[in-house]
Homo-oligomer: A and B are copies of this chain.
Amino acid sequence: MSAAKKSDLGVTPLSEDVSAWYNELVFKAELADRGPAKGTMVVRPYGYRIWELLQGELDRRFKETGHENAYFPLFIPESFLKREAEHVEGFAPELAVVTHGGGKELDEPLVVRPTSETVIGEMYSRWISSYRDLPVKINAWNNVVRWELRPRIFLRTTEFLWQEGHTAHATEAEAMEETLTMFGVYDEVARDVAAIPMVTGEKTPSERFAGAVRTYTIEGMMRDGKALQSGTSHYLGQNFAKAFDITFQDEANALQHVHTTSWGMSTRMIGGVILAHGDDAGLVLPPRLAPIQIVIVPIGRDEQGEATRARARELAAELEAAGVRVHVDDRDASPGFRFNDWELKGVPLRVELGPRDLEAGHVLVAHRVGEVDDKGRPVKQAVAMDAVAATLPGWLDAYHDALLERARAFRDEHTATVDDWEAFAAQVAVGFAHAFHCGDEACEDEIKSRTTATPRCIPTEGPEEEGACVHCARPSAYGKRVVFSRAY
């Protein structure tokens, strides 16, 4: 992008200040706004449409893997949280508490759900009595509240939207299979829908979900080299089953506790999409999550304008029939203004249609991210008018692949295997470091206080090996290197 264009947009360039860029972009692209109550957010239609598209992709896969949706209450008796010791320890500092209802002080305060393991545990204990009732595989789409002192739209807000899956199984093996299946679904959706190549793996004990036996995570690399935890899947063992007395009669008539799992992905993922793909000009949306995949900009005044607008509407109808989310921008504004606006909003393909194009029987197509000329302007490709509807859907798929490839290259360039402290500290300042760690939580804490980096996961990929802890030189744990980085 040229300097002139940048200043027109009025967004601080990503390359100068990621944090300012992000905050300005979220508002200017009309993705979201701050709510009146501290830490809350309003998801505006353009941002919410991204969420709807992500929901659709996830929900279809949840149903294909045998889950049903349900709804559990927002309010949980405070005493429920206390039944699982680690769980309450993890969530107590973040709770919002209702003390008054219907004009009276309540006998027992109600917690606004930060997550629903406890209330679902209670319900499962009522519903499950025999091995014939298992497995129970339920997902819920809802809102949760976790008090945030330093809120950041999409990334950390006091209230956010998510889905939480909760399943109960007869055996550890079945519950572990479920945990890993949903971990795989998240990785697939991140890659095939959001075009973000994830580093996948298991959390170290200190980073586990409060109450989990194992937590699996997908971690995306943002444009500043930081990680964003984008979805987690937990094997909860029998912890919640014991706390909530979820038992079943097995085939031999013995009473057993079930094994449970939970897994979630949230509106945080929208923040991930912004930060994984954006650039100085604004948003770069992966086509499968783009509210508008193709914008058509008719150009020209008076009669010529009439003609290009009419043709633009016809093309839009053809593209819509081909399953494309398309928008005709026929606002009475300069082409440059309109181009910048849709660049800011990250629309994958822009179709320009001026009087000369109309005469030549083609349109000009610009990719939001792609080849640029020596002035930094996007190279526009001519597409014959009658080939538009047949050609552009395929270009959207190719664009998805290109974004994924670009993100993968960026991630790999900002990832290194390190063996000494100086290299480690330098690497976590710019990206991901694969390093040996002793597994001691105090050592993790020291690394964090010196670099702000934390262990993101013990990666699924990568060789099994042992070595000396990059920080304290004690023998490594986990049988593998650990991925460390700064994180959102």
A interface residues, Cβ below 8 angstroms from B: 33, 35-37, 40-45, 48-49, 51-52, 68-77, 80, 92-103, 109-110, 112, 119, 122-123, 126-127, 138, 142-143, 145, 147-149, 158-159, 161
The answer, among B70, B73, B159, for a CB contact under 8 Å with A75, is: B159
Known pairs A41-B73, A92-B103, A99-B100. 13 more at Cβ < 8 A? A33-B127, A37-B75, A37-B76, A40-B73, A48-B71, A73-B159, A74-B112, A74-B159, A94-B102, A96-B101, A96-B102, A97-B101, A103-B147
Q: How far apart are the CA atoms of A97 and B112 in the complex, in Å?
A: 11
Give Cα A110–Cα B147 distance, bound, in whole angstroms.
13
Contacts of A35 in B (CB 8 A): 72-73, 75, 119, 123
Known: A36-B77, A45-B68, A161-B71. A100 touches B96 (CB 8 A): yes
* A218 vs chain B, min Cβ distance (A): 24
Neighbouring B residues of A72 by C-beta, 8 Å = 35, 42
A80 to chain B: closest residue by CB: B36
Q: Which residues of B contact A41 (CB under 8 A)?
A: 73
> Secondary structure at chain A's binding surface: helix, strand, loop or mixed?
mixed
The residue from B43, B94, B112 contacting A112, defined by CB atoms under 8 A apart = B112
Q: How far is the CB of A122 from the nearest CB of chain B, in Å?
A: 5
Let me know if B101 and A147 touch, CB within 8 A.
Answer: yes
State in angstroms the CA–CA spacing of A272 and B93 once bound together. Answer: 41
Known: A44-B70, A75-B37. A101 touches B110 (CB 8 A): no
Chain B's closest residue to A132 (CB) is B331
Kindly name the residue among A75, A95, A103, A145 whose own CB sees the greatest number of chain B CB atoms within 10 A: A75
Residue of B nearest to A92 (CB): B103
- Chain B residues in 8 Å Cβ range of A100: 95-97, 99, 109
A98 touches B101 (CB 8 A): no
**CB neighbours of A49 from chain B (8 A):** 68-69
In the bound complex, what is the Cα–Cα distance between A159 and B73 (angstroms)?
Answer: 7
Count copies of this chain in the complex: 2
State the 4 A-B residue pairs at the shortest beta-carbon distance, nearest first.
A102-B147, A40-B73, A45-B68, A35-B73
Q: Are A45 and B102 in contact (CB under 8 A)?
A: no
Contact in complex: B71, A42 (CB < 8 Å):
yes
Contact B69–A42 (Cβ < 8 Å): no
- CB atoms of B97 and A40 under 8 A apart: no
Q: By the criterion CB–CB under 8 Å, are A138 and B45 in contact?
A: yes
Q: How far is the CB of A382 from chain B (nearest CB, A)?
A: 33
Given A69-B48, A69-B49, A119-B35: A95 touches B99 (CB 8 Å cut-off): no
A52: B residues at CB distance < 8 A: 69
A99 and B102 contact, Cβ closer than 8 Å, known pairs A71-B42, A138-B45, A142-B143: no
A126 and B80 contact, Cβ closer than 8 Å, known pairs A42-B71, A73-B42, A98-B96: no
Bound CA–CA A119/B74 (angstroms): 20
Q: How far is the CA of A122 from the CA of B37 in the complex (A)?
A: 11
- Report yes or no: A74 in contact with B36, Cβ–Cβ below 8 A: no
**Given A43-B71, A70-B43, A97-B99, A122 contacting B159 (CB threshold 8 A):** no
User: Of B76, B147, B149, which is within 8 A of A36 by CB?
Assistant: B76
| Complex contact A45–B70 (CB within 8 A) | yes
27 A-B pairs with C-beta separation under 8 A? A33-B123, A33-B126, A35-B72, A35-B75, A37-B77, A40-B73, A40-B75, A42-B70, A42-B71, A43-B70, A44-B70, A45-B70, A48-B68, A48-B71, A49-B69, A74-B143, A92-B103, A95-B100, A95-B101, A96-B98, A96-B100, A96-B102, A98-B99, A99-B100, A102-B149, A112-B112, A143-B143
Asked, given contacts A102-B149, A147-B102, whether A73 binds B36 with beta carbons under 8 Å apart, the answer is yes
Considering only CB atoms, which chain B residue lies closest to A40 in the complex?
A: B73
Complex partner residue of A37 from B70, B110, B127, B147, CB under 8 angstroms: B110
Bound CA–CA A62/B272 (angstroms): 29
- CA separation between A101 and B148, bound complex, in Å? 9
Known: A96-B100, A96-B101. A158 touches B69 (CB 8 A): no
Q: In the complex, A51 Cα to B71 Cα: how many Å? A: 10
Closest to A157 in B: B73
How many whole Å from A149's CB to the nearest CB in chain B? 7
CA distance A213 to B80 in the complex (A): 44
A68: chain B residues at CB < 8 Å are: 45, 48-49
Q: CA of A93 to CA of B148 in the docked complex: distance in angstroms?
A: 29
- Complex Cα–Cα for A71 and B147 (A): 18
Interfacial chain B residues near A126, Cβ < 8 Å: 33
A33 contacts across to B, CB distance below 8 A: 123, 126-127
